[in-house]
Amino acid sequence: MPTEYQKRTFLKEQMLKELARKGYSQNTIRTYNAMIGKFFNYYSGCINTLKREEVMAYLQALSDQGYSDSFQNQAINAIKFLLEKIMKRDRQVYYIDRPKKAHHLPVVLSKEEIAKLLGTLSNNKHYAMIALIYSCGLRISELLNLKIGDIDSDRMIIRIDESKGRKDRNVTLSEKMLKVLREYYKMYKPKFYLFEGQCSATDETPPKYSSQSVQKILKRALKSAGILKNATPHTLRHSYATHLYEAGVDLRSIQVLLGHSSSKTTEIYTHVSTLHLKNIKSPLDDII
């Protein structure tokens, strides 16, 4: 008879295989693995007799320890996947109430701030990466997965293969961005991925550039530009969408360009945009 440790190890291995089979991203697989590991460290009973009340007690413990709603939701998703998809438990029996999600507006950089940011980047490769994220509204994973063949200069589009939700899409390639990419290509001559990392002696194919490196590049550029906003590479994507909306591009087109499944996700940019605020006069102006 297998030990409790062996049962848990087997279940976790089955979960990881099923996540990969279903096409979940590597980030999601790593997150689920970590979340189940943390839950297993908390729960000392027999995993086969786990009750809903015990899962809820764990989630309450996470809340008491100050973990964010986002972290709790990730824990719920991982536990539910294990229980329902791997252990074949009844979803109704093991339904877990999710914490209410706080609604935060995304940080957005102005066009002037984008210009200042790009102006600090003297390295051709760094400039091309940051400019491309903003120019096409890319997720950082989409940027790093781009291959040379994805750039279609004849049709002036960039093909994004199997992005979030395993969906393909095309984004527009501007003339100026194409010029930047051509200058970058002549200087660095990537072989497979558009942006490649350092090759080791054992690498048959050059590795992708790392997301941590892109984040560090942006962080240094923000500091050099004197921009105090808490911006990340994803902020550039939010800025792209907001600037498109403010330029009069309809929400449906923005939804397609961003690869959003739901129009509700895209509608957040109507709240981020300041267009509707610029025509509002403060009552203070009539007083002083």
Crossing angle between the packed helical segments 211-225 and 233-246, to the nearest 10 degrees: 60
Q: In 10 A of CB 263, how many CB atoms?
A: 11
**Contact in structure between 136 and 244 (CB atoms under 8 Å):** no
**What six digits make up the tokens of 44?**
């000392």
> Is 166 among the residues known to form the active site?
no
Q: What is the pLDDT confidence band of residue 278, given thresholds at 50, 70 and 90?
A: confident
pLDDT higher at 23 or 153: 153
Active-site residue, selected from the candidate residues 38, 125, 159, 164: 164
pLDDT at 46: 92
Lowest mean pLDDT among 4-18, 28-42, 218-232, 266-280: 266-280
Mean pLDDT for the chain overall: 89
Could you tell me the domains of the chain? 4-86 (1.10.150.130), 111-278 (1.10.443.10)
pLDDT at 100: 65
Q: What is the mean pLDDT of the segment spanning 81-105?
A: 74
Q: In 10 A of CB 257, how many CB atoms?
A: 20
Helices (H), 137-274: 140-145, 175-188, 211-225, 233-246, 251-258, 263-266, 268-272
> Is 220 among the residues known to form the active site?
no
> Is 164 among the residues known to form the active site?
yes
d(CA 99, CA 70): 9
Active-site residue, selected from the candidate residues 237, 238, 240, 245: 237
d(CA 144, CA 175): 21
pLDDT higher at 209 or 93: 209
Query: Exposure string (b/e) for 179-211, b if CB count within 10 Å is 16 or more?
Result: ebbeebeeeeebeebbbbeeeeeeeeebebbee
Residue 231 reports pLDDT greater than 90: yes
**Helix (H/G/I), strand (E/B), else coil: 25:** coil
Active-site residue, selected from the candidate residues 139, 159, 169, 185: 139
Residue 65 reports pLDDT greater than 90: no
> Is 276 among the residues known to form the active site?
no
Residue 172 reports pLDDT greater than 80: yes
> Is 95 among the residues known to form the active site?
no
Considering only the C-alpha atoms of the chain, give the largest distance between any 2 of them, rounded to a whole number of Å. 83
Active-site residue, selected from the candidate residues 7, 89, 159, 234: 234
pTM comes to 0.70
> Is 269 among the residues known to form the active site?
yes
Residue 40 reports pLDDT greater than 90: yes
**Contact in structure between 179 and 135 (CB atoms under 8 Å):** no
DSSP 167: -
pLDDT at 220: 97
Radius of gyration of the chain (CA): 23
pLDDT at 98: 56
**Contact in structure between 157 and 173 (CB atoms under 8 Å):** yes
Q: What is the mean pLDDT of the segment spanning 236-245?
A: 95
